[in-house]
Structure 1
Amino acid sequence: MINQNTEQIKLIAEKYGINNQLIKLMEECGELVTAAAKYDPQHRYTIEHIAEEAGDVRIMIMQIEYLMGIQTTVQESMNKKINRQISRMKEKGLLKEV
């Protein structure tokens, strides 16, 4: 989390609680999916729309991670998945060994 926003994120999360914020996360994810489906590289609006919706989803994920106390677990999972994908890409010759 960006340090400046951490306390604000916590404040919002605590005020609304896990149940409300999980529902809000689902809504925001849906809006991001819709924005991605409308992506057109020729129109700046669609790029900005995706950025806006991605920001909303990130805010909600930060709140869920905080409320559930899973920040470390999420980071560990991300690290494993990233490393696994890099390995797969190397195996397929999509990346050279570094």
Structure 2
Amino acid sequence: MNLQEKIALIADYYGLNIQICKLGEEGAELGAVIAKKYVLIQSGELAQKYDYPAAQREFGHVDFSISEELADVLLVARQIEYLMLRDEKLAEYIERIMNAKAARQIERIKEGRKQ
């Protein structure tokens, strides 16, 4: 069974409402790991100044954790995508929103803004 077949099987079993809740849970876990990395980055100068080996090792662990949590988020997001995009009107609406958001971000990039 390939990944897309697994995604469809899981999505069909749990349904849209449960998987939307699951995405919130997984997103929160990813956010927590990213926040931890942000703290480590902000304290990195201090860690390097005093040469804390444990702090340096932590960066690798956090990157691994981000990868794990991102995989969870993407897996559930793809299930939601599979369920929602079966509705042609909803699929077109989502595509329109994504295009508009991407266009806005490209304008920010052209203006030299990072956010």
Compute the TM-score of the two structures, normalised by the length of structure 1. 0.76
| Cα-to-partner distance string for 1:40-69 (whole Å, 9 max, x where unaligned) | 354200011111111111111111111122
Are 2:82 and 1:66 equivalent residues in the alignment? yes
Relative to 1, partners in 2 of residues 1:34 and 1:8: Cα closer, same or farther, differing over 3 Å? same
Partner of 1:23: 21
Partner of 1:9: 7
Partner of 1:83: 103
Deviation at 1:73, TM superposition (A): 4.2
Return the alpha-carbon distance in structure 1 between the equivalents of residues 107 and 26 of structure 2: 32
Deviation at 1:83, TM superposition (A): 2.2
Relative to 1, partners in 2 of residues 1:71 and 1:15: Cα closer, same or farther, differing over 3 Å? same
Which of these residues, 58, 69, 78, is aligned with residue 53 of structure 1? Answer: 69
Task: Tell me the matched-pair count.
Answer: 90
- Structure having the higher helix fraction is 2
Relative to 1, partners in 2 of residues 1:37 and 1:57: Cα closer, same or farther, differing over 3 Å? same
Identity of aligned residues (%): 41
Provide structure 2 residue ranges, at least 5 long, that are not aligned to the other structure.
Answer: 42-55
State the superposition RMSD in angstroms: 2.1
Return the alpha-carbon distance in structure 2 between the equivalents of residues 71 and 56 of structure 1: 23
Return the alpha-carbon distance in structure 1 between the equivalents of residues 98 and 108 of structure 2: 15
Deviation at 1:75, TM superposition (A): 4.1
Provide structure 1 residue ranges, at least 5 long, that are not aligned to the other structure.
Answer: none
Structure number with bigger Rg: 2
